[in-house]
Amino acid sequence: MNTQDYHYTECGLDNVIVADADFDIVDDDGEKIIQIPAVGMLHRAIAEGLINQSGALSGAEIRFLRTEIGMTQAQLAKLLHRDTQSVGRWERDECPIEPTQDMTLRQIARDQLSITLSYGITELSALVTPQASQNQIKIRRVADANNPYQSAA
């Protein structure tokens, strides 16, 4: 096994790094294939990193959270009291998500995925302020069979 940082773009996000990843690299007819164990747990750790990061959620991050909680754009739109087109525009980065909907989406993800949200409503309100650059989500692989990935914020 090779322990190194892995830029995990397969989840649809370009800002996720899995630190100290010891993923198996399997040679299959001359191609290197990365085998990632417990992908569902990895995605849960990514979601935890997203809901606890500062700055407004990007379109790709909104789409990632929505799909992880198992909702369609229409279902999320209904919960957020917006129309389906609004969710689509957020996900395509055509317009930013409003801070109130950003906060609510983080809370929905927290509830649906049983994730700890590190902030109360006052801190969360300050947290969702738009930023000029996208934050990196760093996940660390740990030796815990029940929870092999942790947000390394």
Give tens-digit pLDDT for 30-85.
777 888 888 999 999 999 999 998 889 999 999 999 999 999 999 999 999 999 99
Q: How far apart, in whole angstroms, are the C-alpha atoms of residue 100 and residue 127?
A: 11
Q: How far apart, in whole angstroms, are the C-alpha atoms of residue 107 and residue 113?
A: 10
The structural domains of the chain, with segments of one domain joined by +, span 4-151
pTM, full prediction: 0.82
For the domain with range 4-151, which CATH number is right: 1.10.260.40, 1.10.3470.10, 3.80.10.10, 3.40.1190.20? 1.10.260.40
Q: How far apart, in whole angstroms, are the C-alpha atoms of residue 141 and residue 152?
A: 9
Query: For the segment 108-152, what is each residue's pLDDT rounded down to a tens digit?
Result: 999 999 998 887 888 888 778 766 566 778 888 887 778 888 887
Give the pLDDT of residue 4: 80
Q: Which two tokens stand for residue 86?
A: 């609004």
To which residue do tokens 């919960």 refer? 79
End-to-end C-alpha distance for the chain, whole angstroms:
25
